């Protein structure tokens, strides 16, 4: 069916672009491979978990950096956590910012940290919307009777 074929192509292309632009990395592939009949929504579930957790972490980060006296160790711990969870779904760009972020924490550089916070928030929202778009296409594809190409 044209509709399905079209959606499939759209999905494939879109996914490829995400990889090319560095939003996602190999880890995301791993997730996709884990998905199977017993867990048909595995990727969506995992990514949703990631979103939830990230929002919480970002809030904590913002709060920690708003304090009069910043506890850099705590900030670093949060960033470390965020780095870990972004690595879980392969959110490469987010991860990269986290690395820079941690360096600033080590240097106790407030400005650097604040800058990174903005950056990481930005990257996070980018990858979030990209993934949401991806899932939308997938849903459409399935609704049209197609299956997600592996």
Partner 1 sequence: MENGFSSPRSESFPAGLRVLVVDDDPTWLKILEKMLKKCAYEVTTCGLAREALNLLRERKDGYDIVISDVNMPDMDGFKLLEHVGLEMDLPVIMMSVDGETSRVMKGVQHGACDYLLKPIRMKELRNIWQHVFRKKIHEIRDIDHHESFEGIRLSRNGSEFSDDCIMFSGEDLTSFKKRKDFQNKYDERDYGDHSSTKKHRVVWSVDLHQKFVKAVNQIGFDKVGPKKILDLMNVPWLTRENVASHLQKYRLYLIRLQKENDLKASFGGIKHSDVPSEDTSGGFGLQSSIHTNQNDVANDRDQFSGSNFYGQDLDAKNNEGYREEIVSEPKPDSKKPLTADVPDPQDTRSSQMSFDHSSASLGSDVNYTEFDCSIPKQYPWSECPEVQSKQERKLLLQLEDGFSQQPPGVPQHYIEIDQLQSVRDTSSPIKDEPVLVEYKSRHESHISPKETTIDNFSAQSKSLIAYHQSFEPSSTAISSMKPQAVDLSCITDLESCQRNLISPSDSTFPPFNEDLTVCWLQSDFLNKNFGLPNMEFADYSDPSFIADIPVHLYDTLTSDYECPYDPTEYPIVDQGLFIV
Q: Which residues contact 84 (CB under 8 A, 6 or more apart)?
A: none
**Measuring CA to CA, how many Å separate 112 from each of 59, 98, 115, 117, 121?**
18, 12, 5, 9, 14
Pair 122, 148: CB distance under 8 Å:
no
By CB under 8 A, tell whether 103 contacts partner 1: no
By CB under 8 A, tell whether 1 contacts partner 1: no
Q: Report how far apart the first and last C-alpha atoms of the chain are (Å, whole number).
A: 18
Write out the H or E segment, with its range, that includes residue 12: helix 2-20
Which of positions 43-72 make contact with partner 1 (CB under 8 A)? Answer: 45-46, 49-50, 52-53
* CB of 15 or CB of 86, closer to partner 1: 86
* CB of 78 or CB of 146, closer to partner 1: 78
Please identify which residue in 44, 77, 126, 142 interacts with partner 1, judged by CB under 8 A: 77
Report the Cα 56 to chain-centroid distance in Å.
Answer: 14
Please identify which residue in 6, 10, 32, 88 interacts with partner 1, judged by CB under 8 A: 88
* CB of 77 or CB of 110, closer to partner 1: 77
Would you tell me which residues interact with partner 1 (CB under 8 A)?
26-27, 30-31, 33-34, 39, 42, 45-46, 49-50, 52-53, 77, 80-81, 83-85, 87-90
């Amino acid at each position: 069916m044209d509709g399905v074929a079209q959606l499939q192509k759209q999905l494939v292309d879109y996914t490829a672009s995400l990889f090319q632009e560095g939003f996602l990395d190999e880890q995301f592939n791993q997730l996709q491979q884990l998905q199977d009949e017993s867990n048909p929504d595995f990727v969506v579930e995992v990514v949703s978990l990631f979103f939830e957790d990230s929002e919480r972490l970002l809030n904590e980060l913002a709060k920690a950096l708003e304090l009069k006296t910043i506890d850099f160790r705590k900030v670093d711990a949060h960033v470390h956590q965020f780095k870990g969870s972004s690595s879980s779904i392969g959110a490469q760009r987010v991860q990269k910012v986290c690395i820079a972020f941690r360096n600033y924490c080590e240097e106790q550089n407030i400005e650097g940290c604040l800058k990174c916070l903005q950056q990481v928030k930005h990257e996070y929202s980018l990858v979030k919307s990209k993934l949401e778009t991806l899932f939308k296409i997938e849903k459409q594809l399935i609704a049209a009777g197609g299956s997600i190409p592996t």
